[in-house]
Amino acid sequence: RLSPPRRYAVSLCLVGLIESVMTLQAVDEITDSLPSSLRSNQECVAQGVANALCGVLGAMGGDAMIGQSTINVMNGARGRLSGAVAAVAMLCFILALSPVIELVPVGTLTGVLFVVVLNTFHWPSFRALRSAPRADALVLVQVTLLAVATNLAVGVIAGVATLAACDAWRRGGE
């Protein structure tokens, strides 16, 4: 059994990987690009190496930011320059402008995050619930509720387990 710090580390690792792959899928969908498993694998390996290095150096790890990536692409970004500019700007904010950022009310940041969520959520998925197979509809609702109540890793793991059980049930009746 994992100790609480290790459990949190594994959970954060899974959430980071899931969010990074979801970000790639969202950007591919917005840009009408074909999904690439090679890019997904490269992203996951690069993120793992970077987060391992962060752990060794005592820094905080990270993942692809779905909100920033989606907003960038929706506003015309098509290359890696937009992400690099955002990273450099964030570094400048942290190093030079942190006293100014501390003056921004938390409510303002909450509003910005709320708008990002509204813009990145795939709203037509609610309409798809009526026509989707029951197992898929159940998993969509289950993952959403568990991700909100606990975290994304728990939601996705439970969703995969539920789909596997539903598939086994369906195949058993054939």
Cα dihedral 118, 155, 157, 113 sign: positive
Burial of 162 (0-12, 13-18, 19+ CB in 10 A): middle
pLDDT of residue 165: 93
Write out residues in the chain with pLDDT < 70, as ranges: 120, 174
pLDDT of residue 156: 85
pLDDT of residue 124: 80
CA distance 155 to 14: 11
**Helix, strand, or coil here: 76?**
coil
Model pTM above 0.95: no
Mean pLDDT of the chain, nearest integer: 83
